[in-house]
Amino acid sequence: MVSPILLVRQSHRNRASLPKITARTREELALVSPGTLGIGISSPFQTPRRAPVSPSAGAAFGLPLITPGELWRVEECPSMALALTPPVLPQLARSAKTVPRGTQWSYEPKWDGFRALAFVDGADVYLQSRNGRPLRRYFPELGFPEGRYVIDGEIVIFGSDGQPDFDALGQRIHPADSRIRQLAQSTPARFIAFDVLSEDDELLLELPHHERRGRLERLIDAPLDLTPSTTDVSETEPWLHGAEGVIAKELDAPYRPGERAGMVKIKRVRTIDAVILGWRPGKEEGTVGSLILGLYDDSGRLREVGHTSGFTAKAKRELVDRLKPYETGERGSGEPSRWNNARDLEWVKLRPELVIEVAFDHTSNDRIRHGAKLLRWREDKDPQDCAMEQLLN
């Protein structure tokens, strides 16, 4: 029997030096050695980004096609006697601005971690990321009760303050096993389960959510965590205002892999007043790409805490003239962008006299993790009143 393998989409720079995978069937592809790099898949077939190419592959989940000329890596996939085999794309949530109400909904907290599916077959565990990539080697400390099941959940690391620490999660994606083992001891992760897709030989995807939740509650045991769930919308207030937000799920909805169906997410949105420290040029000449934000700490030092972008084309041009009177004449460049090493992050320094109100959702290590949204200019606000405590609270 040929073990299943995975094809992993690559972005290799020198395609010409790679051998071609010339298999024409799933069976032939299953004979390609793990670790092989290749281009020119000659026979397209339904598969996700990281896809089983064994005859038992579950291609019925509406996943995209491999097309000729794409670059993939072949990897081994664990052979498990489960009703579902990896990869399976998780069901996704639609975004909403307010929490839906009604007897058809249940509510759970939104976690700030890595979405993951766990495939458990006795003592064997395979962890899969949201986009189908293997995660197990990065989280060796995670334990799962023995059995035969597939569960959906979130890998979370909690900091000393009891809050999720997303930066600590990112440090785990490291090539050195010794470093991973060290971090697993110093900052252990937890798996918080919120759905079950199969148990023993039974596929549970078509069951309504409230039945799957009942199955999950009976299945989950230490050392796993079970996410809280309620049908009382008033109990969502602490999650909406003091955590990451709320996930609302339709009680009668089936599990739809890869689809935005059956549930909605309502992110916690926070606002602060911040000082504009400077600006970065946009891609087009004579435009502003982003504004650099700062807040004053307890010692009176103005600290950079993030940026705001997403301006219209008209606003990008107008901002150049609006900011010019505040320029100090100091310019420079920061570290090269992690996504494009050829592009330096240029900046133009401003006198700390302009204040804007911005909205954001996530923070890490006292910084706004993603780009904030400009809400309004605060001509009435003293820059000295823009304190770090806004971010900490």
Among all residues, which ones are annotated catalytic? 110
Nearest in space to 29 (alpha carbons), one of 19, 40, 21: 21
| Cβ proximity of 345 and 280 under 8 Å | yes
Residue type, 97: K
Beta carbons within 10 angstroms of residue 25's beta carbon: 13
| Cβ proximity of 51 and 63 under 8 Å | yes
- Report the alpha-carbon angle 231-232-236, nearest 5: 105
SS3 content of the chain, % helix, strand, coil (to 5): 15, 35, 45
Residue type, 194: F
Nearest in space to 210 (alpha carbons), one of 234, 236, 229: 229
| Cβ proximity of 331 and 324 under 8 Å | no
Nearest in space to 291 (alpha carbons), one of 305, 277, 303, 302: 277
| Cβ proximity of 349 and 278 under 8 Å | yes
- Report the alpha-carbon angle 116-88-193, nearest 5: 35
State the Cα–Cα distance between residues 97 and 88, nearest whole angstrom: 28
What residue has token string 């990869």?
87
Which of 206-225 are b and which e, b meaning 16 or more Cβ less than 10 Å from the residue's Cβ?
Answer: ebebeebbebbeebbeeebb
Beta carbons within 10 angstroms of residue 145's beta carbon: 12
